């Protein structure tokens, strides 16, 4: 973690690309693999290269610096290439596998769950799994039910995996570097609607520790816990609440597994009220996880019911109006907070 004052503003996506580039320079074992992460695969000789740079451009330019051996386009075979990344990680590489959308994890979950997550334990601690999986989450871009899910709750459920969800360009770079350097498998969940947002990012490599949340706005009346894009929803809600004299503290979770229990508990012990804002569907979600933590370990401090604002228990609808209604919004958070301010 660094505290260098950074004035340069780049997008979340650019910050990730920078993280990848810096780590690939630093360690020859770092490789990247995924569908269209460069593009026009195999056509360098015909003058085509790097046609896509990933579906959102996060890997653009890397093949030009590092070549097709280390920046590997793959066929559409998620179990095959993510499983191959697992095998490469078990044998000494430090692969970054790109799963285009988290909605596709059903195509490769066995490799993630039964191999990547469990090998170290099953082998009695005698192996490492320095694997990073980058994937995109979230609704709000009109992509309908199979390209808009959040789903990190399902991965957080699984022992052996680490799961992070940056909320801006700064944490995107720091967490991705941490993920790549980590000897455990880390899933990095990037919200599509954050990729284009700009923020200050130091040029030199730095890490944001996996397992550490941050307080984005201190407050004393209620704790809002946000994850990924929802952190910005919390900030907007906090601004609106401030006008009504409610001083909300915003906790940006960042790491879902391991989770910074202490940051959440400390905040709630102070504010005595909690609203978790989570874009994932509600059942067995991060929101219930945090609510349960607090209802156990901060129970005596609570002055009001523990509240959650999630997407509803439905697939993501296509129609704009419905998709709008699907998303947690600052207004829903404000209304929820008001309901417990007594």
Partner 1 sequence: MTAPDRATLRWLFRTMVTIRAFEEKHMQEVNAGKPIGGGHSSIGEEAVPTGVCAHLTERDFVASTHRGHGHCIAKGVDVKGMMAELYGRATGACRGKGGSMHIADVSKGMLGANGVVGSNLPLATGAGLTAKLRGQGQVSVSFFGDGASNQGTFHESLNLAAIWKLPVIYVCENNLYAESTPVEYSTAVRDIARRAVAYDIPGLIADGMDVLDVYEKAGQAVERARRGEGPTLLECKTYRYFGHFLADDPHRYRTKEEEESYRARDAIASFKKRALASEWLTQAEMEAEEQRAQALMDEAVRFAEDSPPPSLDDLVTDVYVSYPRIKV
Ligand X SMILES: Cc1ncc(C[n+]2csc(CCOP(=O)(O)OP(=O)(O)O)c2C)c(N)n1
- Binding residues vs ligand X (CB under 6 A): 35, 76, 78, 100, 104, 107
CB within 8 A of 281, min separation 6: which ones?
A: 150, 153, 310, 311, 312, 313, 314
CB within 8 A of 168, min separation 6: which ones?
A: 12, 194, 197, 199, 231
Q: Which of 304, 293, 238 is nearest to 271 (CA)?
A: 304
332 binds its own copies (CB under 8 A): no
From its own copies, partner 1, ligand X, none, which one binds at residue 296 (CB under 5 to 8 Å depending on kind)? its own copies
Instruction: Report yes or no: 190 and 57 within 8 Å, Cβ to Cβ.
Output: no
257 binds its own copies (CB under 8 A): yes
Looking at the DSSP assignment, which residues form a beta bridge with residue 248? 222
From ligand X, partner 1, its own copies, none, which one binds at residue 156 (CB under 5 to 8 Å depending on kind)? its own copies
Peptide bond into 258 cis (omega under 30): yes
Closer residue to its own copies in complex, CB, 207/272: 272
Instruction: Pick from 5, 7, 46, 204 the residue near partner 1 by CB under 8 A.
Output: 46
Q: What is the DSSP string of 265-303?
A: HHHHHHH--EEEEE-S-STT-HHHHHHHHHHHHTGGG--
The size of the interface with partner 1 (CB under 8 A), counted in residues, is 82
From ligand X, partner 1, its own copies, none, which one binds at residue 187 (CB under 5 to 8 Å depending on kind)? none
Shortest reach from residue 19's CB to its own copies, in Å: 26
Indicate if 147 belongs to the active site.
Answer: yes
From ligand X, partner 1, its own copies, none, which one binds at residue 320 (CB under 5 to 8 Å depending on kind)? partner 1
CA distances for 29 relative to 34, 67, 99, 154, 312, angstroms: 16, 13, 20, 29, 42
Closer residue to ligand X in complex, CB, 77/314: 77
292 binds partner 1 (CB under 8 A): no
From ligand X, its own copies, partner 1, none, which one binds at residue 73 (CB under 5 to 8 Å depending on kind)? partner 1
Residue found under tokens 């809600």: 237
Instruction: Report yes or no: 201 and 7 within 8 Å, Cβ to Cβ.
Output: no
The residues in 108-147 that bind partner 1, with binding defined as CB under 8 A, are: 110-111, 114-115, 119-128, 142-147
Instruction: Pick from 183, 203, 244, 335 the residue near partner 1 by CB under 8 A.
Output: 183
CA distance 327 to 317: 10
Closer residue to partner 1 in complex, CB, 3/91: 91
324 binds its own copies (CB under 8 A): no
CA distance 16 to 338: 37
What are the catalytic residues?
Answer: 147
């Amino acid at each position: 973690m660094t505290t260098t004052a950074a004035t340069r503003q780049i997008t979340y996506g650019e910050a990730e690309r920078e993280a990848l580039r810096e780590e690939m320079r630093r360690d020859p074992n770092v490789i990247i693999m995924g569908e269209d992460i460069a593009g026009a695969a195999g056509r360098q000789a015909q003058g085509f290269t790097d046609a896509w740079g990933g579906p959102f451009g996060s890997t653009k330019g890397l093949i030009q610096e590092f070549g097709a051996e280390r920046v590997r386009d793959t066929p559409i075979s998620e179990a095959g290439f993510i499983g191959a990344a697992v095998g490469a990680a078990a044998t000494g590489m430090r692969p970054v596998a790109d799963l285009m959308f988290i909605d596709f994890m059903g195509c490769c979950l066995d490799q993630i769950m039964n191999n990547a997550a469990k090998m170290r334990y099953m082998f009695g601690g005698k192996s490492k799994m320095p694997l990073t999986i980058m994937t995109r989450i979230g609704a709000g871009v009109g992509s309908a039910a199979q390209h808009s899910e959040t789903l990190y709750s399902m991965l957080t459920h699984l022992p052996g995996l680490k799961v992070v969800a940056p909320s801006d360009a700064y944490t995107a770079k720091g967490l991705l570097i941490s993920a790549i350097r980590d000897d455990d498998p880390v899933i990095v969940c990037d919200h599509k609607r954050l990729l284009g947002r700009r923020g200050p990012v130091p040029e030199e490599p730095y890490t944001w520790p996996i397992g550490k949340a941050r307080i984005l706005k201190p407050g004393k009346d209620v704790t809002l816990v946000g994850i990924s894009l929802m952190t910005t929803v919390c900030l907007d809600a906090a601004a609106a609440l401030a006008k009504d004299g409610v001083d909300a503290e915003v906790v940006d979770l960042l790491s879902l597994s391991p989770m910074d229990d202490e940051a959440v508990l400390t905040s709630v012990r102070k504010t005595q009220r909690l609203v978790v804002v989570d874009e994932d569907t509600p059942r067995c979600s991060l929101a219930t996880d945090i609510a349960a933590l607090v209802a156990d370990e901060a129970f005596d401090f609570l002055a009001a019911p523990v509240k959650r604002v999630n997407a509803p228990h439905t697939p993501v609808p296509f129609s704009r109006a419905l998709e709008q209604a699907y998303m947690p919004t600052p207004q829903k958070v404000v209304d929820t907070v008001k309901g417990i301010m007594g």
